[in-house]
């Protein structure tokens, strides 16, 4: 016999902002021996949300062979939406590295940076690493197909598939973006950090490195603690205004090319603000995206 159970809007106790989903109607086919009574208690699994509920017969029958029951219920396990797939782009000194740390810390995404992958592959002596090293030793750029394969293999690992990923500073060209799409990697969101050129130049030109500790300082925003540290600080050879502007020009050209691929899912973040204010903008966008994914999953159930 079929029993129709009407659930009001679900609420998620672990994530209050993921509440107020549309009502759910579930059809239960139970043998007569399990016909609901006033103290019946059942557990229903909708996707990855387990709902324990008791049933109470409604006054109006639904159909000739069906009876409508109203449910008193509570969530046993939270909705687990599809993991996030995020790309982030930002010019040198845009604060992208800081935002990646904040994003991965809060959302548990796997942080994937092409440069880090390249160094790791070379260190482990993998096939891709050996091929990349040959080009680098000749002073040549590593071909796209090698880097794309590294990124592909990293995104296919279990932790990336289970937890979601944050692809940092990649793709950098339309050909790289096209290759990722052909491999089936479609991001949910493409984040672009926008910082004025004057501020970027100021951030880069003022950077200094402590060769003893490896710590990065800034003469204005994060000065050294004492005179001893200040005396030994060095500046990278390419942290000059002229070289920074050349790097920015290249970056802007690359981003414009990639944006054509991700135009519909791109959000532009004002990166001129403090790191806390910048993250608040990103956090709001990611939270809204999770809400949409959770709501979509609940309706599908």
Q: Are residues 204 and 241 in the same domain?
A: yes
How far is the C-alpha of 25 from the C-alpha of 68, rounded, in Å? Answer: 10
Annotated catalytic residue: which of 85, 203, 207, 208?
A: 207
Residues 127 and 40 in one domain: no
- Of 40, 75, 110, the residue at which a domain comes to its end is 75
Residue 288 domain flag: no
Give me the catalytic one of 56, 152, 245, 247.
247
Domain stop point among 44, 75, 106: 75
CA 139 remoteness from chain centre: 34
Q: How far is CA 175 from CA 14, 90, 172, 266, in A?
A: 42, 19, 9, 18
Q: Within this chain, do residues 15 and 124 fall inside the same structural domain, yes or no? A: no
Q: How far apart are CA 113 and CA 118, in angstroms?
A: 9
Residue 155's CATH number: 3.40.50.300
Residues 44, 125 within the same domain: no
| Domain annotation covers residue 278 | yes
Q: What is the pLDDT of residue 297?
A: 56
What is the rounded distance in angstroms from the CA atom of residue 99 to the CA atom of residue 3?
A: 50
Q: Are residues 125 and 234 in the same domain?
A: yes
Q: List strand residue ranges (DSSP E) for the chain, in order.
A: 2-7, 24-29, 41-46, 49-63, 66-75, 85-90, 110-113, 165-168, 189-194, 207-209, 216-218, 266-270
Write a three-state SS string for 30-64: CCHHHCCCCCCEEEEEECCEEEEEEEEEEEEEEEC
8 A C-beta contact, residue 146 and residue 132: yes
pLDDT given at position 144: 87
Place of tokens 């609420």: 11
Question: What is the domain count for the chain?
Answer: 2
Q: Within this chain, do residues 259 and 111 fall inside the same structural domain, yes or no?
A: yes
Q: For residue 89, tell me if it sits in a domain.
A: yes
Q: Does 297 reside within a domain?
A: no
Whether 236 is catalytic is yes
| Residues sharing a CB contact under 8 Å with residue 38, sequence separation 6 or more, in sequence order | 56
Cα distance between residue 234 and residue 246, in whole Å: 21
CA count, 13 A, side-chain hemisphere, 52 = 5
User: Has residue 117 been placed in a domain?
Assistant: yes
- Assess whether 25 carries a catalytic annotation: no
Q: Are residues 223 and 150 in the same domain?
A: yes
Active-site residue, selected from the candidate residues 106, 157, 161, 236: 236
Residue in 172, 203, 208, 293 annotated catalytic: 172
Same domain, 93 and 214: yes
The DSSP secondary-structure symbol of 22 reads: P
Question: Domain range spanning residue 175?
Answer: 85-282
Hey, what's the torsion of the CAs at 91, 280, 170, 209, to 10 degrees?
Answer: 50
Q: What is the pLDDT along the chain (301 residues), one digit of tens a residue?
A: 334 444 444 444 444 444 434 444 444 444 444 444 444 444 444 444 444 545 454 444 444 444 444 444 444 444 466 899 999 999 989 999 999 999 999 999 999 998 889 889 899 998 888 998 888 888 777 888 899 999 999 999 999 999 999 999 999 888 999 999 999 999 999 999 999 999 999 999 999 999 999 999 999 989 999 999 999 999 988 889 999 999 899 888 888 889 989 999 999 999 999 999 999 999 999 999 988 887 765 444 4
**Residue 178 shares a structural domain with residue 258:** yes
Q: Are 207 and 217 in contact (CB under 8 A)?
A: yes
Q: Let me know whether 151 and 250 are in one domain.
A: yes
Are 60 and 107 in a shared domain? no
Same domain, 63 and 89: no
Within a domain: residue 90? yes
DSSP string, 83-121: PPEEEEEE-TTSSHHHHHHHHHHHH-PEEEEHHHHHHHH
Q: Residue 249 domain-assigned?
A: yes
- Sign of torsion, CA 180 186 188 192? positive
Q: Tell me, yes or no, whether 294 lies in a domain.
A: no
The one catalytic residue in 96, 154, 208, 293 is: 96
> Can you give the pLDDT at residue 230?
95
Phi, psi of 254 (to 5 degrees): -65, -45
Separation of CA 279 from chain center: 13
Rounded CA-CA distance 34/1 in Å is 10
138 is catalytic: no
130 as an active site residue: the answer is: no
Q: Domain boundary residue among 75, 100, 122?
A: 75
Taking Cα atoms as reference points, which of 112, 128, 93 lies closest to residue 238?
93
């Amino acid at each position: 016999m079929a029993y129709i159970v009407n659930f009001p809007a679900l609420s998620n106790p672990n994530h209050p902002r993921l509440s107020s989903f549309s009502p759910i109607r579930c059809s239960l086919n139970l043998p007569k021996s399990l016909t609901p009574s006033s103290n019946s208690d059942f557990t229903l699994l909708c996707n990855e949300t387990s709902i324990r509920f008791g049933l109470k017969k409604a006054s109006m029958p639904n159909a000739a062979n069906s009876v409508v029951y109203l449910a008193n219920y509570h969530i046993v396990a939270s909705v687990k939406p599809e993991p996030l797939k995020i790309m982030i782009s930002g010019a040198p000194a845009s604060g992208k590295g800081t935002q990646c740390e904040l994003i991965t810390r809060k959302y548990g995404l796997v942080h994937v940076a092409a440069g880090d992958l390249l160094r790791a592959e070379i260190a482990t002596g993998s096939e891709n690493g050996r091929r990349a090293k040959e080009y680098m030793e000749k002073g040549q750029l590593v071909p796209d197909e090698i880097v794309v394969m590294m990124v592909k293999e990293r995104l296919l690992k279990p932790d990336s598939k289970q937890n979601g990923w944050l692809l940092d500073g990649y793709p950098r060209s339309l050909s790289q973006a096209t290759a990722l799409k052909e491999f089936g990697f479609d991001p949910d969101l493409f984040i672009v950090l926008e910082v004025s050129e004057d501020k970027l130049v100021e951030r880069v030109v003022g950077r200094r490195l402590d060769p003893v500790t490896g710590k990065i300082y800034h003469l204005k925003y994060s000065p050294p603690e004492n005179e001893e540290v200040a005396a030994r600080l060095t500046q990278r050879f390419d942290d000059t205004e002229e070289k920074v502007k050349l790097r920015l020009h290249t970056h802007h050209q690359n981003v414009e090319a990639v944006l054509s691929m991700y135009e519909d899912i791109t959000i532009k973040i004002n990166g001129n603000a403090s790191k806390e204010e910048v993250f608040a903008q990103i956090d709001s966008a990611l939270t809204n995206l999770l809400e949409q994914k959770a709501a979509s999953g609940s309706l599908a159930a």
